[in-house]
Amino acid sequence: MARKRIVVVGTSFAGYTGALELRELLGDAHDITVVANTHDFVFIPSLIWYPFGLRSKQDISFDVRPVYAEHQINFVEAGVTGFDLDQRLVKSTSGDLPYDYLLIATGPKVDFASVPGLGPRQNSWSICNVEHAEETRHAWEQFLQNPGPIVIGASQGAACFGAAYEFIFNVRYQLKKHHLLDKAPLTFVTAEPFLGHFGIGGFGNAKAMSEMFFNMQHISWRTSAVVQEVRPDSVALASGEVLPSAFTMIIPRFLGIDAIRNTPGLGNANGFIETDDGYRHTQRPEIYAAGVAVFVPPAGETEVPCGVPKTGYPSEVMAKTAAANIAADINGGERKTMPFSMIHAYCIMDTGNMGMLILGDHMVGARHLEFIIPGPQAHWAKLAFEKYFMYTRKHGHI
């Protein structure tokens, strides 16, 4: 059998997992290349702690290149600028990369432009990547010297709601430590129709539990909120309400990266790739996708658009499924399917020194099993999982 060339685009949860899984399944009989604009793997869930000085980049990231070298995976550090689907080429700043099979695991483009004034170097802060979180750390240090009202949340079309919840509870915990609760009233704004929707249609008694947490912590909230504009000292909602804010962090919607959106026939209007339940492109059988790059329809209709969270564990499941099917395409054998809705829901939500363990048998739709376990054990579980995850992935175990 002729050697096949598999190119993986991206090296976060989906890309890193997919590349290592492909090598495990294919042995050394075929060529695997990863192309990404960074050689760092970052454990994104820990960015909620970064602005408070509780983590450094070294704590939550590692260099993927030694792992790839050990597994005989070629790594190209370059920006992907486009795709030639007919010639089967990934176009990058380091030249064209030919492929027989392609796994797109790029993650998102963070669409700050969707709301006027939103984002770093404008009027709000971000925890979407390390660079943003570093800027947010400096802003937080300045805020502590001159505190005032705070607005945290997730805008219309956002999908990463859990991080917004964790961040506002960690902000509240830090305010208490600095004895600033009376000087910094907290407001949470979200596109969700109710607290605890999380972009997955709700989860057990999450609504009641979230409302209880918010009330206990004296945090006000606005659901079905449309953020119209973020100003230097306030957040304007489409309802006409203007919320004063001396420190604002609002997670925006995600889009597919420019290289996908600029390639006709690859992604949909927002740059997400439509796949079957094996994560193969619906029109191009040699192309697969995993992680945030995959189009997942919303979990039911909502008054304000809400995306579905795809980061972390769901990304890894999609990547392993895609890798298994690429291997089946090459070597023969049974293909696998794993509809997104059937992926298990696993989440540890941290609130500073407490939290919630969220466990369910399905991400979206009716569930037979769903548990929410609040308490300090959730905080310690998240700390333990961070250490376990970083150790295993740094050593190439998935």
The residues assigned a catalytic role are 160, 347
The H-or-E segment that residue 74 falls in is: strand 74-77
Q: Please name the residue ranges forming H helices in 92-160.
A: 130-145
d(CA 274, CA 152): 31
How are beta strands 186-190 and 150-154 bridged, if at all? parallel
- Nearest residue to 37 (alpha-carbon basis) of 103, 87, 94: 94
* Terminal Cα-to-Cα distance of the chain (whole angstroms): 28
| Secondary structure tally for the chain: helices H, strands E | 9, 22
Name 16's bridge partners. Answer: none
d(CA 199, CA 191): 9
d(CA 110, CA 105): 15
The H-or-E segment that residue 385 falls in is: helix 376-394
Alpha-carbon dihedral of residues 286, 292, 293, 296, nearest 10 degrees? 90
Q: 385: buried, middle or exposed (CB in 10 Å: 19+, 13-18, 0-12)?
A: middle
- Nearest residue to 190 (alpha-carbon basis) of 232, 217, 157, 213: 157
Two tokens, residue 271: 């740059």
Query: Can you tell me which residue has the tokens 């797109």?
Result: 104
Please count the other Cβ atoms lying within 10 Å of the Cβ belonging to residue 168: 26
Crossing angle, helix 13-26 and helix 313-331, to 10 degrees? Answer: 30
Chain centroid to Cα 323, Å, comes to 20
